[in-house]
């Protein structure tokens, strides 16, 4: 499994944070082409496109490469590599725009969006490192 993570997910500073509840949205994007039912390009090319989409929307994100099965609208079952894009506290309208773009760019009949609530907090290393201690 390959994981790319930009962990400045919600804040850029590393100070201790109070506990917050935020939304976790995940978009599952299959890499098999909707017409040919095969993956046309190397996974690294799809990752590059996905990262560029997220950068263009200026959203914090993480992405995982997974393997799994999918049932097409026709009822046909297929195995494929998929990307799971994780977004924390991104507006629903932006999530849906990103999802539509990914459907188009990856030539998919659909992508799956899941949403959950989670508690988030940051821990920082705030102690002074004194070499004489």
Q: Is 12 helix (H, G, I), strand (E, B) or coil?
A: coil
Contacts of 82 (CB under 8 A, 6+ apart): 28, 29, 30, 31, 65, 66, 67, 68, 70
- At residue 21, φ and ψ (nearest 5 deg) are -110, 130
Decide: residue 67, CB within 10 A, 0-12 exposed, 13-18 middle, 19+ buried: exposed
Which CATH code fits 19-120? 3.30.70.120
pLDDT, tens only, 58-113: 999 999 999 999 887 788 898 999 999 999 999 999 999 999 999 999 999 899 99
Give 13's pLDDT tier (boundaries 50, 70, 90). very low
Domain ranges of the chain: 19-120
């Amino acid at each position: 499994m390959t994981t790319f993570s930009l962990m400045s997910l919600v804040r850029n500073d590393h100070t201790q944070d109070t506990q917050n509840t935020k939304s976790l949205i995940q978009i599952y994007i299959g890499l098999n082409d909707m017409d040919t039912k095969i993956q046309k390009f190397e996974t690294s090319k799809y990752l590059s496109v996905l990262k560029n989409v997220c950068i263009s929307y200026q959203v914090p994100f993480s992405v995982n490469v997974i393997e799994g099965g999918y049932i097409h609208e026709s009822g046909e079952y297929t195995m494929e590599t998929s990307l799971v894009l994780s977004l924390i506290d991104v507006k629903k309208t932006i999530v849906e725009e990103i999802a539509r773009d990914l459907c188009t760019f990856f030539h998919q009949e659909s992508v799956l969006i899941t949403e959950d609530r989670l508690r988030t907090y940051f821990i920082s290393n705030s102690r002074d490192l004194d070499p004489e201690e």
